[in-house]
Structures are given as structure tokens and as C-alpha cells.
Structure 1
Amino acid sequence: METKKWVVDIEGNLSTTYPHIKEAAELLKKNEVIAFPTETVYGLGGNAKETEAVNKIFQAKGRPSDNPLIVHIADQAQLQEFVSTVPTVAQKLMDHFWPGPLTIILPAIKDVVSERVTAGLSTVGVRMPDHPVALALLKEAGLPLAAPSANLSGKPSPTSAKHVWKDLNGRIAGIVDGGITGVGLESTVIDCTSVPPIILRPGGVTKEQIQQVIGEVNIDPALTKEDEAPKSPGMKYTHYAPQAPLQIFDGSVTFVQEAVNRSKSSGRKVGVLATDETKQQYEADVVISCGSRSDLSTIANRLYDSLRAFDETDVDIIISESFPKTGIGEAIMNRLEKAATLPIQREE
């Protein structure tokens, strides 16, 4: 399959690239799948109502079929098509955070969206992305789009069109290139069919921000207990992983460097995922900074790009610093822990 690529100018007048948006939307109407930028990561969109389109998403990604997909909309009025009720707490969250990086689990109207979107559940996850290209494409297509991250399943999510191209060129109909994404991590997922609501996946909207709007929320036990089965997209399987095995070390620079030294002494080439503050302090084969420890939003923004950068090297193992689980740090550590193939080590 030939994969088309359209470059849109989000800094200028989006109407100048409207023909690109229109062409991509026409393909979506024909049940093709298109990658497009959101404020979190690039999504791989297909008509949520048509199983033919949804099947193409799973096929392109190599994604397990029991993993539900998030539906993207451009207007709250679209909810009436496939959501049976909107709880008061959900409406408060929509009014406060939409468009934005918050996915809300709602009761679904049976047999409207494809069963492959809901994975057979009676609920559906929905969000309205805060990105001009995503909203323009959704409006032009006039469809709710099922859209997981536009990467091969298990790989770090894509934060640029070049990431999508590397993973999915020849596997999908097209890529709308809208530049680098903003948040860099996927949306927060909250189940509003439960009382109180339950955060199933940490992301671009923090627990603290949500609580300021609706009060008490719970956290899915699977986020803290290994023996619990997660309920959110992207949380069930090993995910976000670079090619080399990754291990997190929670401690001082000295503690991390000692781990590097042990790996080097066994003949392995070692990469370190560090920060702007610590990058110069490590002696390793490859050291990559994923942002500033004093501003965790920069780490969220650059995390996936940094993990993918190690794939361009010949390191045998990646040793990563850990980060505080406060604010967006909760989502950062969630993704790092999902990407790790070796157990976390903590300094005593």
C-alpha cells in the first residue's frame, strides 16, 4: 500500500492546507485509516462505526484485539449518536477540560460504534483533542474516529510524523504531518460510569486537576498492583518499549552510574536515559536527556522521542533515572514502567 503524506501549516492559516485535510477526510469516509496529530501523540484514525475501518487499525498496528479504542470527536453533540447518558460529573469534566487530553468512559448505545472499538464492553472511551489539525479533520470527515496511537503495537508512541512514517509506512493510507505534538504522553482516562469516577490511566490531565473540578476520584488498583488486570487502553500489555531492554534505577546519580559500570564490565554497550541536570555526570556509551527534572512537562514531551532515539544506536541495555510521581510525573513513571523489561531497582 502506498502511504500518502500531507504537510499542514499549523503556524499559519490552516485553510491554506484545507485540500490536504479534505483529501484525508475523503479517505476516512471510504473506511481507510489515516494518522494525524493531536496535542498528546499522533493518532491512527478510522471510522468508529465501521468494523472494516477498525479492523484496518488493528491490522496496521498489530494490536491485540481485546484492547479497546478511544473515540475522537469534534463536537459534544456527536455524543448523542453513540452514548446513552452523560453523567453530571462527566459533563463537568467535558466543560472544563475539552478539548484536551482527557478521555472519558461513558455508557455506550449498543451496536452504534463497532464492537471492536469497545472490545465487547458496554462502555466507550471518548475525547475531544485540542489540536487544530485533528479538529479540522474530524469536522471535515463528519465521523467519530477510533484512534489509538499511530505506532506499531508495543513501540513508543509517536510524537512526530517521522515516527509514524518509520512504523507504518506502507501499512496505512496516509499521514497528516502537523509537526511535533505538545503534551507528548497519551490522554488521561477516567471512568465516569463508576461512583466515584476511577482514573484508569494517568496522562495529560493530572489527578489533582480533576479533583479540583469534581472532587473525589479513585485510582484503578492495576496502576499500583501488579496482580490486578488493567481496564484502560494501552495498559494491558507491554507497551512503549524501545528495542533494547530498559531498566529503571531509583536513586542518586552515583547509584545509577554503579549500575552502568556493572553492565559495561560484562561487555554490554550501555545507554542512559538522563535529564538536563544530570546528563554530563554519566560515563556511558550513549547518554540521552529527556528533559529537565525541574519541569516534568518537558520530560513528558520528550520521553517517547528519547526512547526511540536509543533505537538509532547500538546499545545493549538502557538504564533510566526515575522521576517523582507527582502531577504529570505519575504518567511519566507509568509509561516508563510499562516500557521496562527488567524490574525497577531502588537505592537503599
Structure 2
Amino acid sequence: MLPEQADIDRAVALLQAGELVAFPTETVYGLGADAANPHAVARIFAAKGRPADHPLIVHLAGAGCLERWARDIPPLAWELAEAFWPGPLTLILRRAAAVPTATTGGQDTIGVRVPAHPVALALLRAYAEAGGGVGGMCGVAAPSANRFGRISPTEARHVREELGEAVPLVLDGGRCLVGIESTIVDLSRGETQPPRLLRPGRVTPEQIAAVIGILPQTATPATSDDAPRVSGSLAAHYAPTTPLRLVAPAQLADVVDALQQAGRRCAVVCRSPLPQAVSPHALRKLPDDPRGYARALYRALRELDHSAADLIVVEDVPVTPSWAAVTDRLRRSAAGAQATGLRDG
């Protein structure tokens, strides 16, 4: 059941008052605040435990709001906005002068997108119609509604479980249809430089190239000194607290069996059926297609993180372009789980 209009109106009032509101997008649930209000933005960082130099993505009601947030907007940006907005594509552009540096992590760039979820769009449109927040900018900063570095929430209950009373209102829009974060493309270097893919997602480089005639370069802040910092770019991210190990499909059954023989409680995420002789502590079998897998992944990891397992073993996915976004999240999840201080052994 979608929120009532009264819930949307309350959310607008809270945002205008500088408070936090969690809401669904097609990717994951976002933790929203007035992106033009540094004090409201500070509440996001405090609730998430997020470092202040990590920029936020600003969510807009439509491309018509874009020039309030960005300057020197290249033609490619308008082409991509027309093709993919509303949708899971974030554009990195030069920030407009009125944009607070608190929102951009101190950078001269800004990440913007228009989400494709009826609740998110209803909220953003109502917010804009009410005059928006500070300066009438009408943008809502909304990173994933979870503690920093942890598994992104794809259901309203995940937000409540993780952030509790830190969020005055959580709008429930059901499960997120995409299930992993948006594609991020950097267009901040001007018209003479090709776009750069900073985070893979549902919108693929090939789809982008089909619109603008240019295949984005693959570059991340970890490997390119001049690439702007963006959400979800750390090597360790999207992680459960339980250690997580990626295992090749051909080795999965043997690895799980050996670990259990050694007394380890293994939770397993797989695409292929396990032999009947292998009975893990907990099991989640996900769809063997990248879109279905992505939609189910974070929910499965959250459930297994609460299964009292010693280790989450994940059957690795194919190394193909269609699985690139899932591969990215799994690699970061594995690194993040180890970064908690827990160790596989």
C-alpha cells in the first residue's frame, strides 16, 4: 500500500523544517533532507555516521530543476536526462554557486538524478509545489538510508531496523524494483572530454553510448586522481557485519562442505542448486539473471546477516558486462565485511 497524501504532506513539512525523511526510490531507500540546507544535510551525516567529505546525490522532481543545481551543463547531460530520467542514472556536473559545499563534500561538482518511483516522484513534486526548502532550490539530498558502509535498504522495515528514531518519518513504497544503487556518470570535465563511468548500475555503458554515441570511460576515484568523489566508491561498502567470501561456482559445494566439516556455520547465496548432501546453516537461492539477482541481493544479505552464521559464502557471478553492477557490489561487500574487524578463520 502506497502512502496517503497526508503522509506526503507531512514529509514535505518535515523537509522544509530541516528534518529527515526516508523514502523509496526504484534503486534503494534514500535518507532525505533539504539539499540546500547545510544544517539539514548535517543530520544525514550524523544519522548515517557518514564522513563529511562524502558527497550526496540530489534528487529532483524533473530535469527542469537541473539548472538550479548545476552550471556549464553540456548537451550530453540533457540528452541523457531525456533518455533515462526518471530512472537510475546519476549525472555528475559542475555545481551551481548556490549549492552548499556540505552537500557536495567540499567539491565543485554535484550529483543529480530524477528517481523513477511513484512515491519519490510524488514527494519531490509536492516539495517543489510547496516552494521547496532554503532558497526555493527544491532538491532533496538522499543517500541510502542505512549506516555508512552497510547494506543499502530495499524495504521500509530495513530503514526502521537500522536507523530507528533518527528518522522521524519513513514513507513505505514496498520493495525497490532495481535493488542496487544508480549508475553514476561524470560529465563535469566539459564538452571536450568523454564521459566517465564512476559506478555501474542498471543503466549500462552500452545503453548510454546508444543515446550519446560515446562509450563512457571506466574510471573510479580509486584509480583516477582527477575523478570526483562519489557515493559508493569505496573499496569496502554495501557490507554485512558477517564476513563474506566469494567462491567460484565449481568450488562452491566443496568449500561449503569443508567449512561445515570444520564446524563453521555457513550461510550461502547461490544461483545454482546445491547438492543434497550439502546443507548450509542458511540458504538464499537468487535468480540466475542480473536484474533479478540485483533486486534480491541486499534483502538476502540482510537476512543472512541475522542468521547467526559465522560466514556468508556467495557463489560468484559471471564476469560479463550484464553482471558488472552486481559484481561491483559483491566485491565491495566482501571487502567491507572483512573491514569490520571480523575475520574468516
Q: Please report how far the alpha carbon of residue 236 of structure 1 lies from its aligned counterpart in structure 2 after TM superposition.
A: 1.9
Match of 2:70 in 1: 83
Q: Please report how far the alpha carbon of residue 265 of structure 1 lies from its aligned counterpart in structure 2 after TM superposition.
A: 3.0
SS in structure 1 at match of 2:171:
strand
Question: Quick one: distance in 1 between partners of 2:82 and 2:317?
Answer: 31
Gap change, CA 1:133 and 1:63, over 3 Å in 2: same
Is the deviation greater in 20-29 or in 319-328? 319-328
**Match for 2:6 among 4, 11, 19?**
19
Question: Quick one: distance in 1 between partners of 2:7 and 2:220?
Answer: 43
Match of 1:145 in 2: 140
TM-score for the superposition, normalised by structure 2 = 0.88
**Match for 2:42 among 50, 55, 72?**
55
**Match for 1:157 among 149, 152, 155?**
152
Superposition map of 1:330-341 within 5 A: 330-341=324-335
Match of 2:234 in 1: 236
Match of 2:17 in 1: 30
Q: Please report how far the alpha carbon of residue 262 of structure 1 lies from its aligned counterpart in structure 2 after TM superposition.
A: 2.8
SS in structure 2 at match of 1:65:
coil
Q: Please report how far the alpha carbon of residue 322 of structure 1 lies from its aligned counterpart in structure 2 after TM superposition.
A: 1.0
Contact 1:279 1:287 in 2 (8 A): no
Is the deviation greater in 226-235 or in 134-143? 226-235
Question: Quick one: distance in 2 between partners of 1:170 and 1:270?
Answer: 33
Match of 1:247 in 2: 245
The CA RMSD over aligned residues, in Å, is 2.1
Match of 1:270 in 2: 266
Q: Please report how far the alpha carbon of residue 183 of structure 1 lies from its aligned counterpart in structure 2 after TM superposition.
A: 0.4
> For this pair of structures, how many residues does the alignment match?
323
SS in structure 2 at match of 1:169:
helix
Question: Quick one: distance in 2 between partners of 1:36 and 1:288?
Answer: 27
- Is residue 2:252 matched to residue 1:256? yes
Match of 1:98 in 2: 85
**Match for 2:204 among 203, 206, 210?**
206
Contact 1:197 1:218 in 2 (8 A): yes
SS in structure 1 at match of 2:160:
helix
- Is residue 2:103 matched to residue 1:117? yes
Contact 2:186 2:198 in 1 (8 A): yes
Is the deviation greater in 231-240 or in 21-30? 231-240
SS in structure 2 at match of 1:340:
helix
Question: Quick one: distance in 1 between partners of 2:265 and 2:52?
Answer: 36
Query: What are structure 1's unaligned runs of at least 5 residues?
Result: 1-6, 10-16, 344-348
Question: Quick one: distance in 2 between partners of 1:104 and 1:148?
Answer: 15
Question: Quick one: distance in 1 between partners of 2:321 and 2:140?
Answer: 29
Question: Quick one: distance in 2 between partners of 1:79 and 1:149?
Answer: 21
- Is residue 2:290 matched to residue 1:296? yes
Q: Please report how far the alpha carbon of residue 325 of structure 1 lies from its aligned counterpart in structure 2 after TM superposition.
A: 3.5
Q: Percent identity?
A: 40
Q: Please report how far the alpha carbon of residue 284 of structure 1 lies from its aligned counterpart in structure 2 after TM superposition.
A: 1.6
Match of 1:4 in 2: none
Contact 1:8 1:20 in 2 (8 A): no
Gap change, CA 1:227 and 1:91, over 3 Å in 2: closer
Question: Quick one: distance in 2 between partners of 1:114 and 1:327?
Answer: 36
Match of 1:185 in 2: 180
- Is residue 2:125 matched to residue 1:127? no
SS in structure 1 at match of 2:67:
helix
Question: Quick one: distance in 1 between partners of 2:186 and 2:269?
Answer: 33
Question: Quick one: distance in 2 between partners of 1:274 and 1:251?
Answer: 8
Match of 1:219 in 2: 218
Q: Please report how far the alpha carbon of residue 324 of structure 1 lies from its aligned counterpart in structure 2 after TM superposition.
A: 1.8
Q: Please report how far the alpha carbon of residue 49 of structure 1 lies from its aligned counterpart in structure 2 after TM superposition.
A: 0.6
Match of 2:343 in 1: none
Per-residue CA deviations over 1:68-108 (Å, capped at 9, x if unaligned) read 10000002121121211210111111010000000000111
Contact 2:49 2:148 in 1 (8 A): yes
Contact 2:85 2:114 in 1 (8 A): yes
- Is residue 2:304 matched to residue 1:306? no
Question: Quick one: distance in 2 between partners of 1:267 and 1:41?
Answer: 36
Question: Quick one: distance in 1 between partners of 2:279 and 2:254?
Answer: 10
Q: Please report how far the alpha carbon of residue 32 of structure 1 lies from its aligned counterpart in structure 2 after TM superposition.
A: 0.3
Contact 1:205 1:328 in 2 (8 A): no
Q: Please report how far the alpha carbon of residue 113 of structure 1 lies from its aligned counterpart in structure 2 after TM superposition.
A: 2.2
Question: Quick one: distance in 2 between partners of 1:298 and 1:78?
Answer: 32
Question: Quick one: distance in 2 between partners of 1:46 and 1:280?
Answer: 48
